[in-house]
Structure 1
């Protein structure tokens, strides 16, 4: 149970005078105050007990007793918060999780990159087209993608719209995952049908192995009714502090702060300044938290970050999400892991194989090669195997739709195919087909690791 922030003093505690990168310039301070005040009075989207549960599961992933699957849109949009889109994303994650569970022989912690991923950092504050310069699109919680002055104007009421879209998404996610849609038998049937297609025959053997295991479980009298529901958590980048601050509440049990906008929050590559407002903010909330880590990280800064975010060395508290690139991870990751080993922090290591592999195709589209994504995950496993450490999970930008945004896969998307259904407003995502193929390949890596 949580309550609204009880006093201006507590709000002041969160709004510390530290540099905050990637924040929009709101044109109307009064309108911003109204939006923030409205959010502060709204009910929490998630609860402290749920966050504590996820922290325990992240701790198990850190020691190899679970595996984390984080997946979802690069940037959610208000228009995409429909029942069909939400269902298809959840379905894709459930299908991937079922395959990974079999490969790992471990529970898979299912975390959707959804119900809050409405803001994006930008490398430039403006965008120019045909000699016209307008503010950059920073996600639907700030402005609109349409390239007009009115659409690109930063509107704080979009923070409130973001809350409502997140609430609707969470409501449907909970209905899907607790109401029978996530029944393991249904999920396996979906995967079996996918793997049996001629293009995916290499994965049919694993699907048949899972089928045998399911029949064995049924013969042993396993209660499949108990498997109709799953626990599903939601996560997003804690980017817009004008949204995260008013959504931070006091847990009545302990008097501690929780950001009730999502179960798991992370800080990205552009906002991980150890002296900045973003790391300071997530250091003050009790949610399980994460930070993106690239090969550009300063190792002394990394150690200082651990001291700031995990001062009590609490298992499940801190996750590092590595984003290196397939050509870099084998060289860069070992030194990063070694730099953390004498800190006493039990870090959960998760691989983001997407962001380090982005490039512009010959046809002018921002894209990624499926083979590079797979190779980065493979390199992630190889490094951990060599060091005797634990690969705790993967973090993937994906959609349940049949988009054409990433090149490759067993039903290959070519450069000339990208324009057919390129729908992302920011970064390219794996489509449903590519996501499931990745899950089967990672399941093989997990099975090899289990030995």
Structure 2
């Protein structure tokens, strides 16, 4: 890895910057990279397929993103269960992305020097869980979905859809199909670079013949830019625009169509399909009105982005009887329905879903809550996350 690659953005302003000792960057420069350039390129190819309408992307997070094995394991388990349902309904592969470790560089967080070792352990756990001896075997994943349908009130309405998946797997078993893709999968990592300066030790530049040199950030496969850090002239956007890593950008109710186009142009100067994912978080009561002009304007610009929906934040409301934030699960579902309606009406590909989960299996809550072990706002438990996937699957099938 290089230390200070040329061509990096200068001292442009960056939002949400805490005061950190200079030694942190030295600490971050020591460990081996968390991901490889070839893995980043693999994700870029898959995101291009999403943008072309040939794949679907599912991105999950625990929001505060602690490094505990229980949380990471719960997130991976939930991603796998949801992806089986969505892949069956959409009849296309599902790209799985876990958002990890962004908040460990945020304001008020302690001990960023611990992040590299913790992140390496988390990535190792994800690779192990999705590998040959992990929990990614599609038949075992469907066993857990069958339990959800059988044992929960929310799952009972999806018996027919679950039975369809069972029949498909049964046919493959009868035909003797037992290929490795049935037993393993790939889970990529997404990261929000809240402190662009802390990303410099993770940068890697490769000179390749007459082609323009490529610059990868090896702290994650994909970079995410949230609304709080999203400013057109900010160093977050400037850095992301230089990288080979695919980038996802959140857009909300205040985002004007022209503003969305400007961000895409800055982040996708070479006009590559799937280079940028736009994650809309409008709210169920506004998505049908606010999203169409953005989709139309970006599409007309010639940039082929991947479209995704974040139904979590638009559904948030002020807490009533507990600390944290809460939302009505029905409002989460309504925003997903509105997002699908918009893309169907425009003839564009509804390419993805972003969700936030506790990853916990043993919660009987009927509403998403922020007060249950949550370091931040609205999140779904595992049952609600899987129910969301079944709901979206039914809508995808019409």
Q: Which bin holds the TM-score, normalised by the shorter protein?
A: over 0.9
In the TM superposition, residue 53 of structure 1 has moved relative to its aligned partner by 0.7
Give the direction of change, closer, same or farther, for the CA distance of 1:252–1:165 in structure 2 (3 Å limit).
Answer: farther
SS at match of 2:13: coil
- Residue 58 (structure 1) aligned to one of 47, 56, 61: 47
Contact 1:73 1:117 in 2 (8 A): no
Question: Could you tell me how far apart the structure 1 residues matched to 2:175 and 2:292 are?
Answer: 44
Contact 1:5 1:40 in 2 (8 A): no
Q: Confirm or deny that 1:339 pairs with 2:297.
A: yes
In the TM superposition, residue 228 of structure 1 has moved relative to its aligned partner by 1.2
Question: Could you tell me how far apart the structure 2 residues matched to 1:256 and 1:76 are?
Answer: 29
Equivalent residues in 2 for 1:314-353, closer than 5 Å: 314-353=272-311
Question: Could you tell me how far apart the structure 2 residues matched to 1:75 and 1:288 are?
Answer: 22
Contact 2:343 2:350 in 1 (8 A): yes
What does the per-residue CA deviation read over 1:61-118, in whole Å, with 9 as the maximum and x for residues that have no partner?
11221110000211112xxx2333322221111011111111111100011112x233
Q: Confirm or deny that 1:423 pairs with 2:373.
A: yes
- Residue 108 (structure 1) aligned to one of 67, 91, 94: 94
Give the direction of change, closer, same or farther, for the CA distance of 1:403–1:262 in structure 2 (3 Å limit).
Answer: farther
Contact 2:62 2:71 in 1 (8 A): no
Contact 2:85 2:389 in 1 (8 A): yes
Q: TM-score, normalised by structure 2?
A: 0.93
Question: Could you tell me how far apart the structure 1 residues matched to 2:69 and 2:144 are?
Answer: 19
Question: Could you tell me how far apart the structure 2 residues matched to 1:35 and 1:215 are?
Answer: 53
Question: Could you tell me how far apart the structure 2 residues matched to 1:14 and 1:354 are?
Answer: 34
Question: Could you tell me how far apart the structure 2 residues matched to 1:302 and 1:438 are?
Answer: 27
Counterpart position of 1:260: 218
Counterpart position of 2:194: 239
Counterpart position of 2:2: 5
What does the per-residue CA deviation read over 1:235-257, in whole Å, with 9 as the maximum and x for residues that have no partner?
12221223222222223657421
Report the aligned-residue RMSD. Answer: 2.0
Contact 1:179 1:229 in 2 (8 A): yes
Counterpart position of 2:182: 227
SS at match of 1:275: coil
Structure number with bigger Rg: 1
Q: TM-score, normalised by structure 1?
A: 0.82
SS at match of 1:316: coil
Q: Confirm or deny that 1:95 pairs with 2:84.
A: no
Contact 1:118 1:162 in 2 (8 A): no
SS at match of 2:397: helix
Question: Could you tell me how far apart the structure 2 residues matched to 1:371 and 1:185 are?
Answer: 30
Question: Could you tell me how far apart the structure 1 residues matched to 2:8 and 2:322 are?
Answer: 42
Question: Could you tell me how far apart the structure 1 residues matched to 2:245 and 2:217 are?
Answer: 7
Counterpart position of 1:178: 131
In the TM superposition, residue 427 of structure 1 has moved relative to its aligned partner by 1.4
| Unpaired stretches in structure 1, ≥5 consecutive residues | 27-31, 122-137, 144-157, 405-410
What is the number of residues matched between the two proteins? 392
Contact 1:75 1:120 in 2 (8 A): no
